[in-house]
Amino acid sequence: MPFHIMTLSRVAMPVSQAEGLKILERDQFCCRYCGLDGKASFENALVMSVDFVQPRARKGKKDPANLVACCRPCNTIKGTRVYKSFEDAKKYVLDRREQMRRAWEATRVRPAARAASA
């Protein structure tokens, strides 16, 4: 269970296994940005990670208050921008995800719409 998750993500994580596990347990293995449930499936477990709300690259501290459970897609979207707060970061990530979803849906719906009108 948790140990598999941590073992799989250990290499990419700047926090120790024990520290990361504490954060994931505190957040119930759910991404704090999009809500993805890391316990729902193996695939979900694979993408769970721990995120620095204020990025390390911006001198974010390795402190539980600055760490959240996070899926890799949200982590990638969030990047190393500086945010005023966790809520600010969450809003950015969710807005960006929504934009990306719309763009993806647009490319996907078109062929079907064309077929329906033919």
The only residue of 53, 67, 74, 77 in contact with Zn ion, by rule CB under 5 A: 74
CA atoms within 13 A on the CB side of 33: 31
To Zn ion, the closest distance from the beta carbon of 76 in angstroms equals: 10
Q: Is residue 31 close enough to count as binding Zn ion by CB under 5 A? A: yes
Selection from 18, 10, 14, 16 nearest residue 51 by Cα = 14
Selection from 35, 72, 30 nearest residue 51 by Cα = 72
To Zn ion, the closest distance from the beta carbon of 22 in angstroms equals: 19
Interface with Zn ion (CB under 5 A): 31, 33-34, 36, 71, 74
